[in-house]
Structure 1
Amino acid sequence: MSALTPILVSGFAFALPLLLAAVGELISERAGVLNLSVEAMMLTGAFTAALGAVLTGSPWLGALAGVAGGLLVGGCQALLSVRALADQIVTGIALNALALAVTTFGARLWLNHGRNQGIPAFDRIEVPLLHRIPALGPALFGQTALGYLCVLAAAGTALLLSRRTAAGLRIDAVGEDAVAADRTGLPVARLRAACVLLTAALSGLAGAQLALSEVRAFSDNMTAGIGYLAVVAVIAGRWRPGATVLAAVLFGLAQALQYALPALGAAIPPAVLTMIPYLAAVVAVSGLAGASRSPSGLTVPFARA
């Protein structure tokens, strides 16, 4: 096994929940809703997934509970930002703070203060032959069943956002000019709310992947900013599916390098590696890496006159 293999394996492990959440956030932003509560959706999804797995003894039912947890937060986000026209940034930050408090308190009540290590979790499934591909094989084809499901969900969502699909065109229409979209007969509020809920389902699934496939436990604030990093990945990817996926994977590798390089004897300070994803976002929005334009209707509330 080369020194590159463990870096790629841990990098893809970091990247997979981030990738799924970033693709979900891309849907919301393309529809015009800046969904900063992705962090809350992931954290709640991780908590409810761990709790569901403990109570039922089934990791699959735990994963389903994780999706439900994400949808619970997504419902609040959609109600406040789409229906009540509340400030999207304030709403997202408030939901993140609330989710952190509720999950921390819930872990102390039902999950042995967040120190449980025996929750039912998913086992690794190695794809025959493909798993033996040097370096990339163990990283891509040694996932859990939930991990493979996350990859399929991310790929399907990216395809949904393609401009060649009717759904993708409708999402872009309400995100670029909600008034014009409304005049053509599109249900702007319902489409935006549906996109927020889809983001919530994917983020809840990402939280379940983190709790039941990677960490195999729940701890306080275990997402540790992954949701915010998903928003950064969308910006760095210039609101395009392929580039967003690439940004999420690179960010995952950067996170893995924080732990791998010191083990390999490199003298690079971990703080420098921690800054890489955010520096990439600064470069992306500054125009140094080419023109970048967010959807015209992003953060702009819509109310029919």
Structure 2
Amino acid sequence: MTATTVAPPAPAPEKAKPLAPISWKAPIGYGVVGLISLVLFGLLPADGQDSTFVLSTSKDFFTIDPITVPAKVTAIVLSVIALVLAGISWQATRNRRKVGAWLPVVFGIVVVLAFLTWADAGKSSPLPLTGLLQGSLFLAIPLVFGSLAGLLCERSGIINVAIEGQLLAGAFLAAVVASITSSAYVGLVAAPIAGMIVSALLVLFSIRYVVNQIIVGVVLNVLVVGVTSYLFSTVLKADASTFNSPPKLPTIDIPLLSQIPIVGPVLFRQTILVYIMYVVVVLLQIFVFRSRWGLRLRAVGEHPKAADTVGIKVNRTRVRATLLGGAVAGLGGAFFTVAAGLAFGKEMTGGKGFIALAAMILGRWNPVGALAAALLFGFSDNLQVVLGIIGTPIPSQIMLMTPYVVTIFAVAGLVGRVRPPAAEGIPYVK
């Protein structure tokens, strides 16, 4: 009797994974904005009006003559370019291809240029484009430091809603110390200490007493406003010459680099606080994503139980990251007093801490992304100042709303689906 060999059954074919649904939000958004730009900035202005842009300063290596362009034609051309980019986004979405970061950047630039061309049409005062960019970077300082502070805390699992209070505390202590010592640099050193004190209260209640982190952050903001307002009314007002007359940080021109037209004044003709900001962004980008410390920080924020099993002290890591974040935010608070050369005033931060949180989310918890988002908000903040100087037809009340409207639309329309650290806001108790 011969044995018969039975062939093994053929494996069942694998089921194809269903494709993710196509999101048309980006191309539709680009298309709508492009059409609005074409109608408002291109078709509505009167014929024959020109727009003039100033690109250089007196300290540059060479002078670039002001550029004068026909407002209507230029705005139409720029708006058409924006619509072409919207078409590229639509085609890429249809074919399920990802477009690089270049598309939203270029789209934003051409739409902003179309808007500036319209705003300056027929004005006797030229629009100082270099000054607009230089001021935008300067005004973005507290937003950059605030967003980096939130990034450090939330990457470790602590929600930091107290950025507003940390900025205000840093501004207060920087003003007082700089006034007493007659040194803006000493005030700059003191500012991070104030931010760390606020962070110490945050970790005390969030980690030690396991209080809801969002509630603690809100309460700390109110506490800092109350304490600084009381000290301002009782101490600083009584002897402003001694306690509330901070000197201003001097502008430092980097030799040769600061004399490059356009780029030089914007990047290399700033205060030391801006140069510190460059260093902090680069260091955090490296350490958070390219170091053992950063790996542990992200592990604690993503899966604290797994981090604990391999020997990482979860709560100790969170405490250190939150204190460091408070120091960074306090440093940003120095912008309002010693960097801007202003005396301390009640609630002078004006909600910048909450815009910094939006910049952190828009930047997807990434230092470089947070920097880009903060620059966007800083640009919108400075834009309403510059357009008010040249006499734009937009009402001043609308211009004051610009930074906050840009914040809402940017977070709602550009963030998309982002995932915060998985253990964010969840206390870790053994």
TM-score (norm 1): 0.92
- Which residue is 2:43 aligned to? none
Identity of matched residues, %: 34
Matched, 1:36 2:166: no
CA deviation vs aligned residue, 1:176-223 (integer Å, no higher than 9, x gap): 111111112110000011111011000111111331012432111111
8 Å Cα contact 2:246-2:341 kept in structure 1: no
Alignment of 1:255-294 (within 5 A): 255-268=381-394, 269-270=398-399, 271-285=401-415, 287=416, 291-294=417-420
Aligned residue runs from structure 1 range 156-305, under 5 A? 156-162=283-289, 164-268=290-394, 269-270=398-399, 271-285=401-415, 287=416, 291-304=417-430
Which residue of 1 is the match for residue 143 of structure 2?
A: 18
Q: Give the Cα–Cα distance (whole angstroms) in 1 for the partners of residues 420 and 245 of structure 2.
A: 44
Partner of 1:9: 134
The residue type paired with residue 179 of structure 1 is K
Cα distance in 2 between the residues matched to 1:219 and 1:250? 26
Structure 1 residues 9 and 132, CA gap change in structure 2 (3 angstroms): same
Quote the Cα distance in structure 2 between the aligned partners of 1:67 and 1:113: 26
Q: Does the CA contact (< 8 Å) of 2:377 and 2:403 recur in 1?
A: no
Instruction: Tell me which amino acid in the other structure corresponds to 2:281.
Output: A
Q: Which deviations, in whole Å up to 9, do the C-alpha atoms of 1:111-149 show, x marking residues without a partner? A: 227976732221111112221222232121111223322
Select which of 280, 287, 296 maps to 1:153. Answer: 280
Residue 253 of structure 2 corresponds to residue 126 of structure 1: yes
User: Does 221-230 or 112-121 show the bigger shift?
Assistant: 112-121
Kept after mapping to 2: 8 A contact 1:48/1:69: yes
Decide which moves more: 176-185 or 93-102.
Answer: 176-185
**Which residue is 2:48 aligned to?**
none
- Distance in 1, matches of 2:232 and 2:185, equals 20
Is the CA contact (8 Å cut-off) linking 1:158 and 1:242 kept in structure 2? yes
Between the two proteins, the alignment pairs up a number of residues equal to 299
Following TM superposition, by how much is the alpha carbon of 1:273 offset from its aligned partner in structure 2, in angstroms?
A: 4.5
Tell me if the contact between 2:248 and 2:341 (Cα under 8 Å) persists in the aligned partners.
Answer: no
Distance in 2 separating the partners of 1:157 and 1:107:
34
CA–CA distance in structure 1, aligned partners of residues 332 and 282 of structure 2: 14
Q: CA deviation at 1:76?
A: 0.3
Query: Structure 2 counterpart of 1:39, which letter?
Result: E
Structure 2: runs of 5 or more not aligned: 1-53, 56-127
| Cα shift at 1:167 | 1.1
Distance across 1 between alignment mates of 2:250 and 2:402: 34
Alpha-carbon distance in 2 for matches of 1:136, 1:298: 39
Structure 2: distance between partners of 1:276 and 1:77: 30
**Aligned equivalent of 2:192, options 57, 67, 74:** 67
| Structure 2 Cα separation of the partners of residues 90 and 252 of structure 1 | 28
| 1:114 and 1:220 in contact (8 A); partners too | no
Task: Output aligned runs, 1:93-112, within 5 Å.
Answer: 93-112=218-237
SS across alignment from 1:33: coil
**Retained in 1: the 8 A contact 2:171–2:330?**
yes
Instruction: Say which is worse superposed, 144-153 or 101-110, in terms of deviation.
Output: 144-153
Rounded to whole Å, the distance in 1 between the matches of 2:217 and 2:338 is: 25
Secondary structure of the corresponding residue to residue 214 of structure 1: coil
1:211 aligned partner, one-letter code? T
CA distance 1:152–1:72, change in 2 (3 Å): same
Cα distance in structure 2, aligned partners of 1:272 and 1:302: 40
1:90 aligned to 2:215?
yes
Aligned to 1:110, what secondary structure does the other structure show? helix
- Of 3-12 and 129-138, more deviation after overlay is shown by 129-138
Contact 1:81 1:301 in 2 (8 A): yes
**Which residue of 2 is the match for residue 135 of structure 1?**
262
Report runs of 4+ in structure 1 exceeding 4 Å deviation: 113-117
Q: 1:273 to 1:265 in 2, by over 3 A?
A: farther
User: 1:126, 1:144 → 2: CA distance?
Assistant: 8
CA distance in 1 between partners of 2:362 and 2:160 (Å): 16
**Whole-Å separation in 2 of the counterparts to 1:149 and 1:134:** 23
**Cα deviation digits, residues 222-251 of structure 1 (max 9, x gap):** 111111111101111112222111111111
C-alpha RMSD of the superposition:
1.8
